[in-house]
Every structure is written in structure tokens, then in C-alpha cells.
Amino acid sequence: MAACGMDLLKKRIETYWNWRSSSYELDQAKSIETVNDWESTINALVSHVKGNDLRALDVGTGPGQLAFYLAGAGFKTTGIDISPGMVSRAEKKALQDGLSCDFQTGDAEHLPFADNTFDVVVTRNLVWTLPDPQAAIREWHRVLKPEGRIIISDGYWQNITWPRIHRLIIKGFKSFLKTGSFISCRFFSHYAGLIKRLPFYEGVTHHDAGKLMHKAGFKDVLSWDIARHFKTNPYGAGKLAAPVFFIVYGNK
């Protein structure tokens, strides 16, 4: 894809998430169980990382939730996101909670960091919206220190495509009854022209993520036991209700 076309694509993605930043929920807005499950998971997956001045990077940080967990675990944490609106919200929340995190805007596929900078790289719900997820994961490999840990979470979101437009009507109506907003309709109208340019627009499986990680050079790639460590699905009502999400992790 030509550079100009890619820039326009990413600008459209940025525009949507700037709009979405004001209504994007933090974990604590969902439930205390969600907070506890995510925080204990992150702590368990980085507990083996030892040393002084440990550094962590949250790619696609959004309002900063995973960055906050890592900061609480003792890491000097940086969060990067394509959306200035999300970064601004993360900065305000960090100030409010007295957490020292460095948030900045940037491109997940072209990180502004030197090789071998971070001990841990995490990302949540980002791979599905990347134009070139393989390039992004190679970047995450590049900025990790040798033996550094990567943690990727995403899901098979079943995002609406044109052949399933009828689902949007039902989903939009339910969303309006629940929240008084048409977020799902705004989402589709914004992403409709981008669908064919995003390889995982409909969603990602842990097998997809694992293949990308292996190809980027990660080793010891494993899948976290969601059923054991999450009491409820943070993305739906009931115990581990759809949509299906995953956490995979590995080492450089």
C-alpha cells in the first residue's frame, strides 16, 4: 500500500478512536471482578521479570488500563496510542490516581523507541484494527530486551461486515436501549470503508496471534487459561459469554 494511502487509513482509525475516547470504559467501570482478574493476570505473567529500573510498554494503550497495572507492579511504564484523545484521557486518569506513567501518541507499527528498550510489552484489543499486524509484532519484538516478555490479548469480536448488516440493526437497537447511544452504528459506519484493508477486522483467534508471534521470532509462546483465571467475561454478561477473547504470551 502506498504511504499516502496508509497514512489516510490510519488517520481514519485515529479519528474514530478520538471520538470513542470519551465513552471508552476502564475496567473499574465494568466490575471489581474485571479489575481483579486483569490485574492478577498481568502480575502473574510478569512476576518472573526481575531487576532494577524495569521498563514496560503498553501498545495501543487506550485510556491506559494495562499501563496502570504495570505501573502498580513496579515498572517504569510507557503507553502509546494512535489517538491523542485516548492519550489525554490516560494522562488525566494517571494524574488522578497518582500513577507515574509516560503516555504519548504514536504508531504501533512504527515505534519511536530504540532496540532492546523494554522488559515487557503488552497490548490489548489492538491486533484486530492493525493494517499490518505482522509488521507491528515485529516492532514489538524489536523493542523488547533479550528474554523480554510479550503479552497479547484480543478476541474474535464478530465485527459486522456487509453480508451481516442485519446484525447491526439488532445490535444497534439493543445498544440504544441499554446505553442510549448508537456506538455500534457509528463504529460500523466509520470502519465500513476500511474492512478490506484490515486483515483481522472480524476478530483474532489465539491461533492467529500465535502464528504472528512465531513468525516475528518469539519463542515459548503459550496461551493463558482464561477459564481458570477469569470469573466472568469482561466483554459480555455471564460466565465467559461471547465474544471469545484470549491472552497469549511469549519471550524474545
* CATH code of 70's domain: 3.40.50.150
The answer to whether position 85 is within a domain reads: yes
Query: Are the C-beta atoms of residues 129 and 198 closer than 8 Å to each other?
Result: yes
The answer to whether position 174 is within a domain reads: no
The answer to whether position 210 is within a domain reads: no
For residue 91, CA distances in Å to 19, 53, 82, 95, 176 come to 17, 21, 14, 6, 30
The answer to whether position 120 is within a domain reads: yes
Span 199-215, pLDDT tens digits: 998 899 999 999 999 99
The answer to whether position 135 is within a domain reads: yes
Tally of domains in the chain:
1
Strands 55-59 and 118-124: parallel
Strands 118-124 and 144-156: parallel
Domain, as residue range, for 24: 3-153
Span 94-133, pLDDT tens digits: 999 999 999 999 999 999 999 999 999 999 999 999 999 9
Q: Please state, as a whole number, how many other Cβ atoms lie within 10 Å of the Cβ of residue 249.
A: 22
The answer to whether position 194 is within a domain reads: no
The answer to whether position 80 is within a domain reads: yes
User: Rounded CA gap, 227 and 15, in Å?
Assistant: 35
The answer to whether position 161 is within a domain reads: no
pLDDT over 90 (residue 238): no
